Each structure stands twice: as structure tokens, then as C-alpha cells.
Structure 1
Amino acid sequence: MLLVVGGMIGLGKTSVAELLGEHFGTEVFYESVDNNPILPLFYTSSEEEIEKKRYPFLLQLHFLDTRFRSIKSALYHDNNVLDRSIYEDWYFAKVNNDLGRISDLEFQMYDRLLDNMMQELKELPKKAPDLMIYLKGSFETVLSRIMKRGRSYELDAQLEAYYRQLWEGYDEWVMSHYHASEVVVIDMDRYDVVSRREDALEVLALVESKLKMIRKK
């Protein structure tokens, strides 16, 4: 069983991944955040610095590298949880391309590299995740959760437009462009798995129910 946890920045992917890992007794492959040297630069640099240093493109390459390593390990061994996965990387790269933070040439290079990596995954013992747990929520909830977790480089008011553009297209991307596995949607306006144990148990029940349906097919 391979589960991937996806969704908008700030909605609690790591907390849900931890919850699932503990519940199913599986290893969790975490998103490369705390040990990521480019992420703070991506969030805090001026537009002039971004234009010169190409931080958005470098960040996407960093995530692509670390997520490819994670999903290869996860697909070799059964029973794993991925805190975000390589499948969502394309969406983040596309949004940054739409915003002009990644050039068309950089995006084309990225797209070819990702396609090459995805072809290699088809050669592994397991081909794809069993289920994506997609966390969705209102934009107000996204901003509130980002503020609550308090990563200083994420709190600049100028980032709100970037967060909004990501948020506005996320549901459509998952429902129309993600085809690697089935999806269960968790409404994070309703659930707080960190502060309320009953919410955590209900989320686990939703995932268990979806997995039972998949196994019956």
C-alpha cells in the first residue's frame, strides 16, 4: 500500500502523513522543507533577485530530485506514505511559469526531465500509489494555517497573491489532471487532526473506507 498526501501549502499534509504512518505502521517520506537551502530564498527574495538567481526553477529542480528519490524508495517497498509526491510538482512548476517566475525554456526543460523520470517509475515493482489523500480548504483556512505554523519566510504579505494563484487552480488540477490513483478528498475547513482527536479518527475512517472500496474492485 502506497498513500500520497497532497494539497495546498499550509493545510496539514505533514500532520496527516504522520497520522497515517502511525495508524498503518508505515514509513513516512517527508517533503524536503527544513533541510532545503533554496526554499527560504524562494520566499524572501525580491523580484530582481529571483530574475537573476532563478530561485523558482532551482527550487523545482530540488523538489523534483528529492521527491523522485522518495517515490522510488516507496514504490520498491510496500506500505509507505508520501508527504506530497512527484505528481504534484508539475502543478507548482506550471503556476510559477504562468507567473513568469519560471521561463518557458526552463519549464520545457523541467517538463522533459519529469517525463523521463515518470517513464523510469514504470519499470519499478509497483507502478503508482494506491490512493491520494487530497486536503482541500478555503483560502481563509490556508492563510490561517500558514500563519499558525509560523515559518517566518512564509509570512510576507506579498506572498498572498502567489498562494491565491496556487489555491485557485489546485482543485481543478487534482480532479482533471491527476490520474495516478484514486483520490479521497478531506475538507480541512472541517477537520483539525492536530488539535482534535475525534477529527483525526474521522479522517482515518474516511481513508480506510476508501481503501476498502479500492480493494473490492
Structure 2
Amino acid sequence: MGLERYRYIVVEGPIGVGKTTLARKLAERLESNLLLEDPDAIPFLPKFYQDMQRYALPTQLSFLFQRVEQVESLTQIDLFGGQTVADFLFDKDPLFAELILSDDEFRLYADIYRHLRVRAATPDLVIYLQADVDTLISRVQSRSRDYEAKIPDGYLRRLTERYSRFFYDYTEAPVLSVNTENLNLAGNSDDFQLLLDRIAGMRSAREYFNKA
């Protein structure tokens, strides 16, 4: 059995790790449906990176509403069959909320999340991309989004730690953790093929890929 056994693949990881790039490449290779988050459609995001305390709640709720719509569209896509690749895992939404919201704001968020939460499909595979914080900072700074240049290094560090804890406890779907430090998944076709081979060869629910 190869990659065709995975009907729903999620690529996850902290900001700047390359999840959207990999999701696009996987979807192209598999000729699958593609679901992507759209941070540019969140009007509060540039303001959030300038004043996190003030804009944390509207930013988080905007992402929540967007992700709910995406999950609902996934249900519609499933009616027509085929594979789907996404660059977000709906169940990780509270990860950001816990990181950026005050206690009162998080209680409000939790109430909204509980009422809005749709029955999200469980992925057949989650590809969790990892990188050192300094690498993430470098990658973020090399992108074309001006507002991302204002992301505090400490925020990226805390976010990376939260991701590690989240996936350490995550058991809902098989997880392939990928160290991207020595992988160029965007521009190196050999590296991309190595990852595809590793995915196709998975035999257990939690495995690791680290290119020496």
C-alpha cells in the first residue's frame, strides 16, 4: 500500500515551518483536493503582531470561524470521493487560544468553540513538520508578508513549544514527525521524494523522519 491509502492528509507545524508549501506539493503529486488556511483573509492579523494583547481575541475568533467553514467544506468534498490534503488540523485551534488569550478571553473562546465545533473528520495521517526556532525566524523573515516581520521571537519560541506538547499527547491519528532542518521540501525534488517514500513506508501510528 502506498500513498493512496491516505484519503485525508494534514500537514501541520508552527509558523514558518513550510506546511503550506508541502501541502500544495502533496496535493499536486496526488492530484487531490487541497484545503488551505488563508491568513491574509484575517483582517486583524497584521494588527495582532503589533499589539497582541489588544487583538488576540478577534484574531483567534476569525481563525476559528474560517477553520469551521473549511471543515464543513471538507465534508462536502468527501461526498465526491478522492483524496484531500490540508495545511491545518482543526483540533489544534485551542493551542493558539491558550497561548495568546487572557483567562477571561479564553473562557469566552471556549464557549464559542464548544458551540461552533463541527464533527471534524479524523485525518488518515498527520505530517508534523519541526524546525529550530532560529530556522523558523529565518524562514518567516524571508517571506513576503510584511506584517510577519513583526512576529516576536519569544512568541515563535512559545508556539513551537506548544506544538511539541500538543503532538506529544496527540493520539487521534497516525503522526509522522519530520525534522525539516536538513530537508528542502520546497525546492529539492530528491528531498520531496525521500519524504514520499517515508510516508508510503509507514507501518506504525507514530514515526519519525530525520534526514542525516
Which residue does the alignment assign to 1:25? Answer: 31
- 1:84-99 alignment runs, 5 A limit: 84-96=88-100
1:166 aligns with 2:159: yes
Secondary structure in 2 matching 1:109: helix
* Identical pairs, percent: 30
One-letter amino acid matched to 1:88? K
Instruction: With the length of structure 2 as denominator, give the TM-score of the two structures.
Output: 0.84
Q: How far off its partner does 1:151 sit?
A: 1.9
Residue equivalent to 2:199: 207
User: 1:168 Cα deviation (Å)?
Assistant: 2.2
Helix, strand or coil: the match of 1:113? helix
1:20-99 aligned within 5 A:
20-45=26-51, 50-51=52-53, 54-76=54-76, 77=78, 78=81, 79-96=83-100
> Which letter does structure 2 place at the counterpart of 1:179?
T
Q: How does 1:42-191 map to 2 (within 5 A)?
A: 42-45=48-51, 50-51=52-53, 54-76=54-76, 77=78, 78=81, 79-96=83-100, 102-118=101-117, 120-121=118-119, 127-156=121-150, 159-176=152-169, 178-191=170-183
Once the 2 structures are TM-superposed, how far is the Cα of residue 213 of structure 1 from its aligned partner? 5.6
Question: 1:6, 1:88 within 8 Å by CA — same for their partners in 2?
Answer: no
Give the aligned length. Answer: 195
Change (3 A) 1:181 1:202: same
* Unaligned ranges ≥5, structure 1: 97-101
**Cα deviation, residue 103, structure 1:** 2.1
Alpha carbons of structure 1 residues 207 and 117: separation in structure 2 relative to 1, 3 Å: farther
Contact 2:174 2:204 in 1 (8 A): no
CA deviation profile, 1:133-191 (whole Å, cap 9, x unmatched): 100111121111111214221113x6111111111232121111x33311111111121
Runs of 4+ residues over 6 Å off in structure 1? none
- In 2, Cα distance between equivalents of 1:112 and 1:192: 41
**Structure 2: which 5+ residue stretches go unaligned?**
1-6, 206-212
SS at match of 2:157: helix
Q: Which has the higher helix share?
A: 1
